[in-house]
Each structure stands twice: as C-alpha cells, then as structure tokens.
Structure 1
Amino acid sequence: MSEAFSQDRLVFVPGDVDLSRSPLAGHLDAETYVLGAFNPGLTRLASGNLLMMVRVAEALRQPIRDGHVHAIRWEGEEGTQGRYVLDAWPLEHADTADPRKFMLRGGGWKVMALTSLSWLLPVELDAEGLDVVEVHYDRAVAPRSSLQCYGVEDARISKVGEGWLMTTCSVSPERHSTTLYSSENGLDWQFEDIVLDHQNKDMLIFEGLIGGQYWAQTRPLGDLYFAYPPGSEWRAGPSINLAHSPDGLFWKPCRKPGIRPHAATVATARMGGGAPPILTDEGWLTLWHGVEPKEIVGIYRTYWSLLDRDDPSRVLRTDHAPLIEANPELTRPLEEQMYLRDVVFTTGIADAADHYIVASGEADLACRITHVAKSRFAPS
C-alpha cells in the first residue's frame, strides 16, 4: 500500500468477470476473453453501498486468423438486444501493432477498428469500496443502437438532485459520441440520447446545479490546435472545456476556457476529465488526467483542481504534482495479462467523512480504489 493513502488496492480484475453471463455469450463462433475490466464510474447508492459501472473490454482470443484481422460488431434494430457478429479485414490493409485495435491503411485520414467490444457491468461494493457485495449481470449496459455498434465505454456517474446521470462514450463508424443514461436508483439505467457529437470525450456532469443550470466538463479532440503566443503560461493541445444545459440533454459550450495544459510541464501536455466534480465547502473539486508523451500511449496520472462554486471557469487552486500515479505493485499478480504500463485513469469519486473514495482504471486492466484524505486538498 502507498504510504500516501490509507487504502489503495485493486478491487475488481478481469478474472472476476463471468463471461458466460456476458451480453455477447452465445453469439460468436470464436473464443473471447476479458482484455480489461477497468475505468469504473462510481456513485453511492441509497443503501450506503457504492456502485461501480465497470467497463468490460471483451476481446477476441485470436483476432488474426485466415489472413484476416477481425472486429466484433453489434447489429440489430434500435432498442433491441440485437446480435453480435464478426467482421474480417485483410491483413495487408491493417496495422496490428496495438493489441487493443488496428489501423486501416489507405485513406487520407486515420481509420481504426477494435479487437474488443466494451460493455458496462454494475459491480456493487461495500460502503468503503473495498469488498464486492454483488455483481449485477442482469443490469449490464450494452449496445442497443447502430451508434454503439463497437461498444459502450468509460461511464461517469453524477448524482444530481434526486436522480443519477451517467455519461458514456458510444463507439461506431457513424460517430464517436457521448451518450447519456438516467436512473432513479443508480442501478437501473435508461438510455436517453446522444448529448455530444463526434470525439467530444470525457464528459463529466457536475454533481449539482449552478445558477439553475446543469454544468459539465468536456474534452473535444482534434488533430489541429492553434498556438498560444510566445511566453504564454499555456500550452496548445487537448484541454478541459465547459458546457451548460437547462435540462441535461441540450448543451451549450461555455465561452470561457476551462482547465488548460500548462507550459511549465510536459506531464500534462494532454489532459481530460476524470471524476465528476463534487461540491466542497471551498468550491468544486475536480480530478482529471494528464498525459506525458511517451512511446505510443504516454504516461497517465491523476491531478486535481478546485473550481469556483459560481464560476467553474475560475481555478482557485491546483497542484502540478500528481495525486495518483500508476502502481506496478498492484498489478504484479496480473503480470501475464499486462499490455500497458504507466497508466492510471481516474473515473469516479465518493465522499466518505474524512476522506474521498477514488475509483480508477489501472493499466486499462483492473479497477483500483484509493482512499485519499481530504487534508490532501487543503491550502499549503
């Protein structure tokens, strides 16, 4: 255990998933396995227990066979359970260097397909998030539309008023969009609609209204960014933006920028949202990820900022030192399953008296729970 945290452990790993109860079970004439059970959305239920919505990346055991690389795809009528099928791509058209995906050659822009399909598994934990109470396979969230045909990924859950809202990334050739689900109990989820269009990711809805409006952090992606002037304290690149909405469905971007990469460090050269912002006595506490460029994926760490309660574009306090880093000791028992290093991706937070319970994906492989003392965010 890290000396910085009272608790820091993996609570759910690929071997904990029963694929005989997967939404894909019985559909494919091919063996699948759990590439990762990770990036869990987190919320506290009315019972006091915690709920993780775990991203299960179910992958083909042998994606390459018969001179082709294969991808899993959902097809069916809107709103139905549909079925899962395999698509085959000639190997000469594909770059298969990354085990999670393959790039298709020959176009004027990047085109990608996945060797896995993700669905969301509700895993109920005890009040401190340290032990699994129940795994709710009957409440799994899986594709139900062509806009989700390559999977549903990376849930973020926010308790707003008396209800729960969950944003997810829905993946398809149509668009890589953000989709919204709602729940009256934090456990049974109803699909609402697309709320953000192509490659606007890591949408985190604030856990409370500001001026009668819903607010959210977003992160639009692109291949082109305009330079800040020489000597600026900011660095051009992916940043955390803000948006607001009267109803949680229709969102307007905020004119003021949100959290931006700082020129003083390359550790956060690329950034995006982590856990939904929660209200403290001082303002909105937001945990986010910064990525330091390294090899293909980079080094992912968790950072924090405190935002003004009435104007979340105002950063009151932040820290260039990471809050949470990847911990190789945690994944040592899973060494044979490792395919990424240096990645921790925080996706949820819950209040627990004198500390926060933070949920993260560790190495795109497993679910990590970390207890962080509230004193960690006090003024220095």
Structure 2
Amino acid sequence: MVRFVEDLPVIETRSNSLLLKPSDIQPSRDDFEVVGVFNPAVAMIGDELYMLARVAERAAESRVGWTALPLQTLSGTIEIEWFRDVDLHVVDARVVALKKNDDLRLTSVSHMQLFRSTNRSGTDWEFVSAILPEGRWETYGIEDPRITKIESTFWITYVAVSPMGAATALMSTSNFVTFDRHGIIFSCENKDVVLFPSRIAGDFVALHRPNPHSHFSPPQIWLARSPDLIHWGRHEFVLGGMHAWEGDRVGSGTPPILCDEGWLTLYHGSNRSNIAGTVGCYSAGALLLDRDQPSRVLARTSEPIMQPATEFEKNGFVPNVVFPTAMLDRGDELQIFYGAADTCVASAQFSKQSVLDSLVRQDQSK
C-alpha cells in the first residue's frame, strides 16, 4: 500500500556497491583506453544474471593542441580523426562542436559488453562477449541499453548515434548467445526508451524521451504504443521536469515493474549547470503509473531518491552522475543497477515500501 505523506520519509537503502570500473575492461585495441563502463541493463535467467553495459573508449595517444575524435566506419573498423582544439567548441566532456558548421562529435566511441554472474546478488561478473556498432546509424557508437523480458524473449532497446543524431534501436535474444537486430524504432532525437514487460490493452507500450532542439517547455517523458514492437504511435505526454533537480534533462531509467499499486519505475533528471563545458548533476526519482492507463501518473517523488554521494558517483568522466538503468524486484527489496559518473557500474538496494512511501500523489484533475 502506498502511504502518500507530506513529510517524506528517509529512503531506506543499503550501501552502494561498485561492480565494474574501467580498469576491469580490456580495450578493444592497443591504441585505445577505456574511459567508462556504465549504464548497465540487467536480466535474470534462472539463477544467473546477465548484464549488458556500455563501454566507452577513446584514443590513448594525446597531442598538445589537438583532439582525437573516433568513429566506426561502415566496414566495421574504428578510425581516429584529429582536429585542432582551436577548431572545436567544447560542449562538455562527452561532446564537442565543429566550429565550421556546428556539427556535434563525441569524444569517445561506445560499444556494449555482455557479462554474466552466477551470484544472484550480482556482485561478481565475468566477461562473455562484445556487441559492436553496425551500419550507418551507429557510426558514433551504441549506448545505454535497457532489457525487458516479454514472454520468452528479452528485448533490448539502445541508443544508436551517428551524424544524424541519437536514435533508439532494438535487438532481441532468447539466450544471450545470439542477438537479432531490428533496426531503428524511434528516430532522432529520441532516447531513454524503456519497454513495459507485458501488453496493456493488447498493445506493447514504451516510455520515451523526445529531445527537441527547440525547448517550448521543460524536458519531458512520453508514452507510445505498438502492435509489434517495431511500429510506434499514439504518443501521449507522461510528465515534465517540475523541480530544479530535473530542470535540464529528464528521461526514463529502469523498465517498469508491476506492483499492487501500479507500474513502478525509476527515472533520471539533471539540473542546469552554471559552469560552461559541464553538465548538471544527475539524480534519480521514482514514478508510479496507472496499471491500465500507463500514461496517467499516480504519484512521483518530489525529491531524488538517489543523488551522487560516493567518491565513484561524484568523480569520473562526467562528475556527479547517478543514472539508473535496471531494477530487479526481489520481493520486499529492489536492486537497482546504475551508471556512476559515466565511468562505473554500481548497484544499490532499497526497501520497496520506502520507495512507495516516498511518492507524492499527483492532482488528477489537471
């Protein structure tokens, strides 16, 4: 039962655990360095856990006055292009803009690596395989997977980045040995797509994050429906950033789980940075959606339930980031897997009831 209260209780959480860090990952090439392993998707098969994590790499070589920008060619190899610093505008640690045309480029290129844990708590992980970018829509890398099991198939949404922008693509697997790619399902600019684990009123349902260049309103999360997981439409607004901690960015985090009270999910938000070349602090909140009308917000947290606090969350490639991307329902507890500072994979455990108790009822008359 959700106890909606005005004086929010302290969220009960166990100490956060650091699971993977860049030094645990072997670079894909001798001339590369791994700058981050983060934003993991997690699924369970029997007593084993499988994790798909984003691995970001960049050139190990440095040249004074120059910046190396990697990209994946259509032939499958990664090339390094060198640009003079004076010809670039630094957007943040992740992105630069070419001054000649304002085109954006990433300072690293990402692929995904699959890990397995035979420990149900997910504290020990072994490398299984790598999934590399493919084709023209993934020339700047593949990022931020989420896994949802629907019937007997695991569906994986992920971000495909190219000169066209950031789009969302789909792949699937039944065994985490072979993977089928299904192409782009949400065109640029759209990311942070999470799938619901069952049909609702006969439809597949997803939360997604349009990312328009023109900002007429605060950042938003929308909902879409599909007959087949490929073709999406009937879009509906779900929520916008209401508070300072989610005023600059807001997006889905973990695929929803069904509770007695409705669909429970975590989402991320970031505030605005007042320092040029940096991004704001990323935190996480909780959201409860109606089980039959999932575009209807029943309750949400007004304050974050997760904020950067540990050394590995506050310091890294992008400082001050907690970015939840997977949530396992363990009865009375929720195990959250998240990216920390765009550098590491970590996990935390919460009392499910304390998360539900932190929710603030929304005015349904609006």
* TM-score, normalised with respect to structure 2: 0.88
Query: Of 196, 199, 202, which aligns to 2:186?
Result: 196
State the aligned residue count: 345
- Corresponding residue for residue 245 of structure 1: 226
Cα drift, residue 374 of structure 1: 1.0
Secondary structure of 1:15's counterpart equals helix
Q: 1:59 to 1:129 in 2, by over 3 A?
A: farther
Unaligned runs of 5+ in 2: 1-9, 359-366
> Does residue 357 of structure 1 match 2:357?
no
- Corresponding residue for residue 6 of structure 1: 14
Q: Residues 1-380 of structure 1 correspond to what in structure 2 (within 5 A)?
A: 4-19=12-27, 22=28, 25=29, 31-44=31-44, 46-64=45-63, 68-77=66-75, 82-96=76-90, 98-107=92-101, 110-137=102-129, 140-226=130-216, 236-254=217-235, 256-262=236-242, 265-269=243-247, 270-294=249-273, 295=275, 296-330=278-312, 338-379=316-357
Q: 1:290 to 1:331 in 2, by over 3 A?
A: closer
Q: Give CA-to-partner distance per residue, 1:125-164, whole Å, 9 cap, x none.
A: 3454442242113xx1111112101100000111111111
State the structure with bigger RCO (CA 8 A, min sep 6), 1 or 2.
Answer: 2
Is the contact made by 1:63 and 1:115 (CA closer than 8 Å) also made in structure 2?
no
Could you tell me how far apart the structure 1 residues matched to 2:313 and 2:212 are?
32
Is the contact made by 2:155 and 2:173 (CA closer than 8 Å) also made in structure 1?
yes
Could you tell me how far apart the structure 2 residues matched to 1:186 and 1:206 are?
20
Cα drift, residue 70 of structure 1: 2.3
Root mean square deviation, CA, Å: 2.1
Cα drift, residue 195 of structure 1: 0.4
Secondary structure of 1:371's counterpart equals strand
Could you tell me how far apart the structure 2 residues matched to 1:358 and 1:187 are?
24
Identity percentage of aligned residues: 30
Secondary structure of 2:133's counterpart equals coil
Could you tell me how far apart the structure 1 residues matched to 2:80 and 2:312 are?
34
Secondary structure of 1:275's counterpart equals coil
Is the contact made by 1:361 and 1:368 (CA closer than 8 Å) also made in structure 2?
yes
> What amino acid sits opposite 1:252 in the alignment?
G
Is the contact made by 1:122 and 1:187 (CA closer than 8 Å) also made in structure 2?
no
Could you tell me how far apart the structure 1 residues matched to 2:165 and 2:83 are?
20
Q: 1:10 to 1:307 in 2, by over 3 A?
A: same
Is the contact made by 1:128 and 1:352 (CA closer than 8 Å) also made in structure 2?
no
Q: 1:187 to 1:159 in 2, by over 3 A?
A: farther
Is the contact made by 1:63 and 1:71 (CA closer than 8 Å) also made in structure 2?
no
Q: Give CA-to-partner distance per residue, 1:192-211, whole Å, 9 cap, x none.
A: 11101011110111111101
Runs (4 or more) in structure 1 with deviation over 6 Å come to none
Could you tell me how far apart the structure 2 residues matched to 1:130 and 1:104 are?
42
> What amino acid sits opposite 2:208 in the alignment?
T
* TM-score, normalised with respect to structure 1: 0.85
Secondary structure of 1:136's counterpart equals strand
> What amino acid sits opposite 1:52 in the alignment?
M
Q: Give CA-to-partner distance per residue, 1:31-67, whole Å, 9 cap, x none.
A: 21111111111111x22222221110011123545x5
